[in-house]
A and B are shown apart, each in its own frame.
Chain A
Amino acid sequence: MKTESSTSSRMRPEVVDGQLFKQALLGSLSWLTSNQEEVNRLNVFPVPDGDTGTNMLLTLQSAVEDIRESEAREISKIAALAAHGSLMGARGNSGVILSQIFRGFAKHVQGKQQLTPAELADALEEAANAAYRAVIKPTEGTILTVAREIGKAAKAAAAESNATVNSVIRAAVRAAKAATDNTPTQLAILREAGVVDAGGYGLQVILEGFLRTVEASDADQLLKAPAAAKAGPAQAALELPEEGWGYCTEFLIEGGDMDVEKIREEIAAMGNSALIVGDPDLIRVHVHTNEPTKVLAYASGIGNLTKTKVDDMSKQHRVILQGATPGQNGASAPKAEAAAAQPRQNGVGLVAVAAGSGLSGIFKGLGTDAVVEGGQTMNPSTQDMLKAVESVPYQEVFLLPNNANVILAAGQVPELTKKRVHIVPTRTMPQGIAAVVAFNVGRPAEANQAAMEEAAKQVQTIEVTHAVRDSRAEGVRVKKGDVIALINDKLKHSGQDYGEVVSDAVRGIGPDGYELITVYRGREAKDADLSQLTEALQRDFPNLEVEVQDGGQQHYPFIVSVE
């Protein structure tokens, strides 16, 4: 089954003009939409700017609102519209900063038709400068730092002799990621909470979305937002009202003495599929609307909003359509494709998320139909997983997130497809491998689900990496550079060498009742490290068998499973 890969680059833009910039911003919007929760979850401040993801999303939505319809080819016009829109719709601290970034960018490109790679880099740098100018005491380790690093990296990349628009933005994305990952070393509050800065991450996501669009071949598909949007999980994608209701908007209103009936009527009038339930103190709202900002503005006048979630359904819809193009005629014609590939007896497919070439290979070798690249620091989006699910020739699919941070995004996939998707909530790669091994083609999905979950539970995972900073977590004191071991996602042991730490970890799990230790070697592990580790394990646990697999994962020199 071939699906259009959105990363293949048929179009190599030499310059950025207004329309490309517009598409790229729309791409940023949908990419931020699908990562919004991720950004929100990073918030560590209890009060100010509580929903960074939501605030940035609403600001960006406002920024693109006016440009959706614009056919202007001059970048100056599109940038000015975006700057104006983001200014008017700025929400929260991160939103105000984002609007300043747009403003700085727009100011710099004033009067320009299009931007060369060098001009683009200048504009990115100037955008960061403008953002810095609006604060007297800039805090490093925030979105500002990330913006500045973006500008710097873009300038450096543009100075290369063979610089292209792609290469400049790619360098900027890389720098954004590095700067975001570095924020905990700059801000103590992030360090203590063990997260990166939410606003910085949000900006990184926006730029990633930008890059995805610039690299994507089919500009046209992103251009026209389809009139018909998917209206809800239970409804067929193709039988929809003409107008379409662009955003699935959900939130809770906390207040006192609220008039539920009146609020229901008011909100229902702003969209369709409205579901408003609650009591005078707490109301839950779900509505599909073209103007989420309007709904949110109305609701915020009534009480405090929490759990805000705004999803661009047009985008989801588009992804579904794209994912289903060649070979299979969308979800509406399921019979044709079953015969295409070698059908599995029970008609159930397997999709897994895997980080690293080796691990992908292991999953494929075990019969996984599609592997989504991603993992610890690069979580795949719901769209990536949806695409993979749509690409397999089965109507019923198991999806293995294989990472605690991916489970949530994976959970949204079943709502977006007509296929029956079962999630096995695997939290680590070894759990996923155990689950795949337990998959039995002779049994229906329900029986498999239980067996796979059970198998995943039996596996103990030890992830081995280095501390990037001094810290103290869950009672374990760690020094920068120490080898640390996380048992099932929890930091448990630290020390000087791999063998010692992993042996401690295995001892901590209690090796009785287990038979096999599998070591998945990461990309950063040296031969000497590996032999030192395996020797220690064989010496300390003569009753257990030790097996080595090439995992190829980043960041974790070793992932070890005990089963």
Chain B
Amino acid sequence: MPAAEQQQKPSNRVLQRAREKGRIEVFPDVVAALAGHAASSCYGVMGMSARGLRDGVAELLRRGNLHRGVDVREAGGRLVIDVYVIVQYGTRITEVAHNLQSTVRFEVERLLGVPVGDVNVFVQGVHEDRVEH
């Protein structure tokens, strides 16, 4: 979990909620990590890619960096999550993206109890089987 990353980011405190017993804050990187894990467990998703294309090449992120393929914002009290992924070649990409949206929404809402507004999926690359016969 990237909770150790305490760099000063402009919008660090995304989720603040006043509760009877005190405040609960969840850092955006945590949301991003949760979303990244949910996304990478989705069928057809071969990996997360770094936001934005550098030199037109989508970079496949390793496990520890999954949150880097996720962008979390707050808009009107709801979360907006952008997910950047690389998808398996030969799957129905729209359907994989649909499943991805509902899984990310479901997992984040389940784990954080915060309504998710939008989940935007950006397919940045297609992954082809290496093991071919």
Binding site for B on A (CB under 8 A): 45-49, 87-88, 90-93, 95-97, 99-100, 103, 107-108, 126, 129-130, 133-137, 139
Contact = CB atoms under 8 A, between A and B. Distances in A.
B90 A137 contact: no
Contacts of A134: 43-44, 46, 88, 90-91
B95 A133 contact: no
A96 B91 contact: yes
B133 A99 contact: no
A71 B106 CA distance: 45
B95 A90 contact: yes
Contact of B106 (A47, A92, A108, A126): A47
Interface of B: 40-47, 88, 90-92, 95-96, 99, 102-103, 105-106, 129, 131, 133
Contacts of A139: 41
Given A88-B92, A139-B41, A133 B129 contact: yes
Given A90-B91, A96-B92, A47 B41 contact: no
Given A108-B133, A134-B88, A136-B46, A96 B40 contact: no
Contact of B92 (A99, A135, A137): A99
Contacts of A95: 95
Contact of B41 (A90, A91, A137): A137
Contact of B40 (A45, A99, A136): A136
A216 B129 CA distance: 37
A135 B47 contact: no
13 contacts: A45-B106, A47-B102, A87-B92, A90-B91, A90-B95, A93-B43, A93-B99, A99-B92, A133-B131, A134-B43, A134-B44, A134-B90, A136-B41
Contacts of A87: 90-92
Contacts of B96: 96
Given A96-B44, A126-B133, A133 B88 contact: yes
A97 B43 contact: yes
A553 B92 CA distance: 44
A46 B107 CA distance: 11
A129 B106 CA distance: 28
A135 B43 contact: yes
Contact of B47 (A49, A129, A136): A136
A88 B95 CA distance: 10
A136 B95 contact: no
Given A96-B43, A133-B88, A134-B46, A91 B95 contact: yes
Nearest to A131: B43
A107 B47 CA distance: 24
B99 A96 contact: yes
A103 B90 contact: yes
* Among A49, A126, A136: residue with most chain B CB under 10 A: A136
Contacts of A135: 41-46, 88
Given A100-B90, A135-B42, 13 more contacts: A46-B106, A48-B99, A87-B92, A90-B91, A90-B95, A96-B92, A96-B95, A129-B131, A133-B131, A134-B44, A134-B88, A134-B91, A137-B40
Nearest to B60: A136
A36 to B, nearest CB: 19
Contacts of B43: 93, 96-97, 134-135
Contacts of A91: 95
A129 B40 CA distance: 19
A128 to B, nearest CB: 13
B103 A48 contact: yes
- Which 3 pairs of residues, A with B, have the shortest CB-CB distance? A134-B88, A47-B106, A90-B92
Contacts of B129: 130, 133
A49 B44 CA distance: 14
Contacts of A93: 42-43, 99, 103
B105 A47 contact: yes
A46 B47 CA distance: 25
B34 to A, nearest CB: 14
A134 B42 CA distance: 9
Contacts of A88: 92
A154 to B, nearest CB: 17
A134 B88 CA distance: 6
Contacts of B95: 90-92, 95-96
Nearest to B107: A48
Contacts of B40: 136-137
* Among B91, B106, B131: residue with most chain A CB under 10 A: B91
A48 B106 contact: yes
A92 B92 CA distance: 10
Contacts of A90: 91-92, 95
Contacts of A47: 102, 105-106
Contacts of A49: 99, 102
Contacts of B92: 87-88, 90, 96, 99
A99 B94 CA distance: 14
A48 B45 contact: no
Contacts of A45: 106
A545 to B, nearest CB: 54
A188 to B, nearest CB: 14
A126 B131 CA distance: 11
A47 B106 CA distance: 6
Contacts of B88: 100, 133-135
Nearest to A103: B90
Contacts of B44: 96, 100, 134-135
A100 B45 CA distance: 13
A252 B66 CA distance: 39
* Among A47, A91, A93, A130: residue with most chain B CB under 10 A: A93
A45 B103 CA distance: 10
B16 to A, nearest CB: 26
* Among A90, A96, A133, A139: residue with most chain B CB under 10 A: A96
Contact of A100 (B91, B105, B106): B91
A110 to B, nearest CB: 9
* Among B45, B99, B106: residue with most chain A CB under 10 A: B99
A92 B103 CA distance: 11
A301 to B, nearest CB: 13
